[in-house]
Amino acid sequence: MTASTALPDLSATGRKLRTLLLSSALAAAVLVGLSGEPAGGSDVVSVPDETPAPVMYLTFDDGPHWLFTPMLLDLLDRYGARVSFFPTAEAIVDRWDAATTRDLLNRGHTIGNHTWHHSDLSRMSADEAFSEVAMASSGLERLMGFSPTCFRAPYGEVGEIAAMLGPRLGMSLAGWTADPQEWRDPPIQDAMSYLHGRERDGLVVLFHDRKWLTLHIVEQVLKEYSDRGWVFDALPACMSDDLAAAAMHSLAPGDAPAGRVNPAQRVSGGTLVTGWAFDADLPAGGLYVRYTIPGSEPLLAGPTGVDHRFEFQVDSVSAGDDESPVCLWAVNAGPRRHDASLGCLQLPES
């Protein structure tokens, strides 16, 4: 049986983080053996043939941690990486508020269901397991404004509810295909060698953002694989079409904006950047987006239209040869709060 002995950190240290403080993420505690087979209950993620670069999906279970998760989010921004988080719902509901959670989503990351208590569903009856997972979805919906679309079972043990996930809970199963077991504190090079041996387009890597060592391993992964032309994205099954509608429904005047940036597209003469941004103080649109490009002062794009979408082009000369990502913020139109980070994205190679 493939399972993890890593236990989640459910201490109360670091209650709800203020939105302004850092950004949020969530982390993991399911562990898989080092066999060559996919683990955690899902098939290998397929990547479309037209994908121009190999894709790696970094995932983080069992968070959020009051210190390491915000540090991880900053690290991901530096490389324009997007990832998927699977927090225990009990922990994130206790430690974060809706604004902090929204900040993580604004940056292009996703959040999936990882049960309420980090329970081994194989030891529970079908009714107990269903209640555990449904309660987690309800807690996440209160924070995100919509229900999660993907589920990762603690220890990879789905138990008797596998057939209920889609029809009754509206989620698909999200497993992993590589687990460097960083919770065991291996040397960084050992973790990297393990990943080298399992390299494939669409690799899904299991990490835990409650470990200091995780930050160092992830930094090495981001640096090495970015240099080799890989891109880092959130799991497609965890991406919800309800994000924009939920933000527009839940935000009130005075709240910080919400938004999301789409993957950059190479066009003639540069790169096209598109996305949406919404501020309840400008319900009919008209919001500006601030962005930075290497070697330049912050610039303004917009305003957004009545559909709250924005679009601008970064020309090849502006981008230069610097490999730093383009970072974006939705400019707060209200009297209070702060500009909302929309994360960073790496410009595609010419």
Average pLDDT over residues 27-44: 39
The pLDDT value given to residue 302: 86
CATH class name, domain 55-238:
alpha beta
pLDDT digits (tens, 9 = 90+) for 201-235: 999 999 999 999 999 999 999 999 999 999 999 99
Give pLDDT tens digits for 266-279: 888 888 999 999 99
Each domain of the chain, given as residue ranges in start order, spans 55-238, 255-345
> Is residue 106 predicted with pLDDT exceeding 50?
yes
8 A C-beta contact, residue 133 and residue 115: yes
Q: Which tens digits make up the pLDDT trace of 117-129?
A: 999 999 999 999 9
Do 55-238 and 255-345 fold alike per CATH? no
Which pLDDT does position 65 carry in this prediction?
A: 96
| pLDDT, tens digit (0-9, with 9 covering 90-100), for 301-318 | 989 999 999 999 988 654
What is the three-state SS of 114-129?
Answer: CCCCCCCHHHCCHHHH
pLDDT band at 334 (very low <50, low <70, confident <90, very high): confident
pLDDT for residue 50: 52
Instruction: Give me the residues paired with residue 297 across strands.
Output: none
Average pLDDT, the chain: 86
pLDDT at 317: 52
pLDDT at residue 213 in the model? 96
pLDDT at 21 over 50: no
In the predicted structure, residue 333 carries a pLDDT above the cut 70: yes
179-188: per-residue pLDDT in tens?
A: 999 999 999 9
Binning pLDDT at 50, 70 and 90, where does residue 28 land?
Answer: very low
Is the pLDDT higher at 11 or at 110? 110
Quote the CATH superfamily of domain 255-345.
Answer: Immunoglobulins (2.60.40.10)
Helix (H) and strand (E) counts for the chain?
Answer: 9, 15
Which residues are within 8 A (CB) of 322 and not within 5 positions of it... i.e. 6 or more apart? 294, 295
Neighbours of 321 (CB within 10 A): 6
Establish whether the linkage from the previous residue to 64 is cis, with ω within 30° of 0: yes
Give exposure, 139-156, as e/b (b: 16+ Cβ within 10 Å).
bbeebbbbbbbbbbbbbb
Residue 293 above 70 pLDDT?
A: yes
pLDDT above 70 for 2: no
pLDDT at 27: 33
The whole-number pLDDT of residue 322 equals: 56
- In this prediction, residues 286-295 reach a mean pLDDT of 90
Query: What's the rounded Cα separation, in Å, for the pair 93 and 91?
Result: 6
* pLDDT value for 14: 37
Q: What pLDDT, on the 0 to 100 scale, is given for residue 324?
A: 78
Query: What tens digit of pLDDT does each residue of 36-88 get?
Result: 434 554 443 444 445 579 999 999 999 999 999 999 999 999 999 999 999 99
